[in-house]
Structure 1
């Protein structure tokens, strides 16, 4: 029966026969690995963001849920560190060293914080966790049997880390270990040292994948639901059986290779629960998009009019008045809901008939779907028998989540509720309207410049 490492070798060759894969397939696969690794590696260490919340944060840069700020920060930092190890693996001129590892640690933990800890004699204490520096105090873990396991001491740590980097360079030069074996052993040897006060598990999994990326293999994702099996193989390695950990890591790499092969063939890489995850994420994202603006039913049209639209209508009216001396007659016609009203007295504040205040208050809000102002320039004075008129109409339509300003059916701007038009936006809108009026006047008068 073939070992897991042998299966890895067979699948690696299958994948290489399919490369390079189409760009769209590669992008889909990269996104899958990015989300799976960031979510699971953090979840293993107690981060409570769900898979959907992780995707919202990393892909859409949105937050949802009730979590501590640190959990969002560390998820983002972990994502940056993941991208960095991919870059490092591709740069053969820049070897992995202790400075790089300390920088990765700073990215993972973001900033110093306080955390519960265990003293060498098994007592609980509280300690400040520093980022980017090796531990200053002994760290240990309580095993399932109640025993306390002590990692390398603070004094030993710099020496042990130097030895680990030298071991890695020598093994890479000898090129005798299969990459998955080298990756698994780097992971284990780093965990045995536990050089930092916190973040060692996440960092060990990043370093493991650095080796795999360097050898053009996909990353290993250790699923948080498989935490017990993962920790069990680490315990077996502590007991002198690293082969169990190597087999376990190889099995996870087999999952990644099969996923990559499916992607290269253009097949679906969705797992059983991925579709439901995507539906849940889409619904949350859609909900966030929907609540970016208020609903039409919750907006006071009069207030919006007084603060924004009425000022636009006044500016529209005033700019047309520069042409009144060229025509025998002018007429302003307000239109509510596309129903014509004969009232022509304009309120000095709003610039629209004052009865709108009563109209909105005494009718269902859905009655007013649009407000328009038509300015008519009637009978041009200078053309004798060939006199002409010009009709200019600006319209504001109230949709469910936004209002739309248009001129003669040409959409000029769309605004979310309850956003108001800025003065610059009003000037631009009216300029477009007057430009069209001017062009029509030149065309009909036969006098162009």
Structure 2
């Protein structure tokens, strides 16, 4: 394995261990954090594909159910669909449901349910050739080969998930899935959901590829490089590993701040109130 990548993976593993050593957040804080991450994912993953809603507009739609003035209805529907698909993905990850073609189809069904040209297209393998924008010479997997290619992907995943580092497995699955491009629409959003499902099942946080011009270009370039003539996945693996490291550091920062805030609050209390609280605790235990 590449030395730099190996060092990055070791750093990620150490950060994951460090994260687990912190006192967990309260249930209310966990719920809010998960909500923030979900909104971030819906916004960023859609934006990568051209959705025009910003983070605030995405949050407003998901929090209140209110549509935003003068935005395309398709962008609103994509937001609702991806939010539902994300929640389904987290359920699958929490219950450690084994990967299958059904899961892949179901996630794509939810992602594209309200925006597919025909509802029958959602979760259905495509029957026409498609290719990356501007790369007609490099079409995705032929329609006739999609079914066996997805079956082979599942077979590979069942072995690789137990053998590879979880981040490498998640990144490679994403890359292999997008290279097949089995559906007419929603392949990128489905791939990022499946990648995060793999990370979550392994105890790593959800990562959100950012949609700003530079980050999106780096993401697309890394994917393209890995697809050229079955080229190396190294650049894409490093990209996803760096995203994971950055998210682990943010999570640790949150947990460390939580512990410090609790310590500060415990020390910053008047003697009178402390005496009352101690008395209450004594009465409840007796």
TM-score, normalisation: structure 1? 0.53
Match of 1:69 in 2: 73
Question: What is the alpha-carbon root mean square deviation over aligned residues?
Answer: 2.1
Match of 2:204 in 1: 217
Q: Give, in angstroms, the shift of residue 183 of structure 1.
A: 0.2
Which structure's residues are more often helix, by fraction?
A: 2
Q: How does 1:399-410 map to 2 (within 5 A)?
A: none
Shift of the 157–107 alpha-carbon distance from structure 1 to 2, 3 Å rule, reads: same
1:196 aligns with 2:183: yes
User: Quick check: 1:237–1:243 contact (8 Å CA) kept in 2?
Assistant: yes
1:4 aligns with 2:2: no
Measured in 2, the distance between the counterparts of 1:244 and 1:61 equals: 39
Q: How does 1:266-415 map to 2 (within 5 A)?
A: 266=257
Match of 1:26 in 2: 30
SS at match of 2:18: helix
Q: Which runs of 5+ in 1 are unaligned?
A: 115-126, 268-449
Match of 1:183 in 2: 170
Shift of the 106–147 alpha-carbon distance from structure 1 to 2, 3 Å rule, reads: closer
Q: 1:101 aligns with which of 87, 99, 104?
A: 104
Q: Give, in angstroms, the shift of residue 248 of structure 1.
A: 0.2
Higher-Rg member (1/2): 1
Q: How does 1:142-181 map to 2 (within 5 A)?
A: 142-143=133-134, 148-172=137-161, 175-181=162-168
> Cα deviation per residue 1:90-142 (whole Å; 9 max; x = unaligned)?
213x312111211111111124644xxxxxxxxxxxx9982110101111123
TM-score, normalisation: structure 2? 0.82
Q: Give, in angstroms, the shift of residue 195 of structure 1.
A: 0.1
Match of 2:44 in 1: 40
Measured in 2, the distance between the counterparts of 1:58 and 1:103 equals: 21
Q: Give, in angstroms, the shift of residue 59 of structure 1.
A: 1.7
Flag as ranges the 4+ runs of structure 1 deviating above 6 A.
none
Q: Which runs of 5+ in 2 are unaligned?
A: 259-286
Match of 2:254 in 1: 263
Match of 1:89 in 2: 93
Q: Give, in angstroms, the shift of residue 196 of structure 1.
A: 0.2
Which structure's residues are more often strand, by fraction?
A: 1
Match of 2:223 in 1: 234
Shift of the 19–237 alpha-carbon distance from structure 1 to 2, 3 Å rule, reads: farther
Measured in 1, the distance between the counterparts of 2:178 and 2:151 equals: 14
Match of 2:18 in 1: 14
> Cα deviation per residue 1:395-414 (whole Å; 9 max; x = unaligned)?
xxxxxxxxxxxxxxxxxxxx
Match of 2:128 in 1: 137
SS at match of 1:205: helix
SS at match of 2:144: coil
Measured in 1, the distance between the counterparts of 2:66 and 2:253 equals: 30
Higher relative contact order (CA 8 A, sep 6+): 2
Q: 1:57 aligns with which of 48, 56, 61?
A: 61
Task: Name the count of aligned residue pairs.
Answer: 251
Measured in 2, the distance between the counterparts of 1:113 and 1:26 equals: 34
User: Quick check: 1:29–1:263 contact (8 Å CA) kept in 2?
Assistant: no
SS at match of 2:138: strand
Measured in 2, the distance between the counterparts of 1:161 and 1:242 equals: 19
